[in-house]
Amino acid sequence: MDSLLGVNEELAEIEGQISDIFRALSNGFQKLEKIKDSNRQSRQLEELTAKMRDCKRLIKEFDRESKDSEYKNDSDTNKMLSEKKQTMIKELNSYVALKKQYTSNLENKRVDLFEGPGEGFAEENVLLASNMTNQQLMDQGNQMMDETDQAIERSKKVVHETIDVGTETAAALKSQTEQMSRIVNELDSIHFSIKKASQLVKEIGCN
């Protein structure tokens, strides 16, 4: 960083930020070595991955600022800046490789993803997961999610069909209820007519 202060203050500041991130990554991976719990390891890897993304962004800024200032620098300074950038990239790539290694180890530990309905499958599943590449693990996970989605869609279809049947049944019951109501009204009318006719018959008989 000191060597850049006399060349470009902005580059010196970016280099300082990158150096801070590299120290944090180094400490983070050392801490990761001591963590045994898979979930905590996963969270720590997520934090380290975020720092690596920040570092990549800063290296791009460093490269952009270096190119913008090329015309003001002599050839030795431009060579020094290029070498610094390459060194940063190599160091970042070393942490990326470490991250991939830990991610692969974590994926192999997560054999519960492949557990079957019985305990007898446990040993077989451990062997299956340990022999799989990351891509195969992802493909297997995607396949299981697709099967789950299909099962959900089938269930949704059954529910919709049940709702349709219920709606049709309700409509039929409503129609029958209205029909029975009309019949009751007609019976009342007939009963009234019969009652009136009986009354007339009685009156005629009396005369």
Query: For residues 130 and 122, what is the distance between their CA atoms, to the nearest angstrom?
Result: 12
Distance CA 33, CA 41 (A): 9
* Per-residue confidence (pLDDT) for residue 17, from 0 to 100: 93
Identify the pLDDT of residue 53. 93
pLDDT at residue 52, rounded to an integer: 93
What is the per-residue pLDDT for 25? 93
The model's pTM is: 0.49
Instruction: List per-block mean pLDDT (blocks of 10 residues) for the chain, which spans 207 residues.
Output: 67 91 92 85 90 93 88 86 91 91 78 46 47 62 70 70 73 76 73 72 68
Q: Tell me the Cα Rg of the chain.
A: 40
User: How many Cβ atoms sit within 10 Å of the Cβ of residue 55?
Assistant: 24
pLDDT of residue 90: 94
pLDDT of residue 133: 63
Sign of the dihedral defined by the CA atoms of residues 145, 38, 106, 47, in that order: positive
What letter would DSSP give residue 207?
A: -
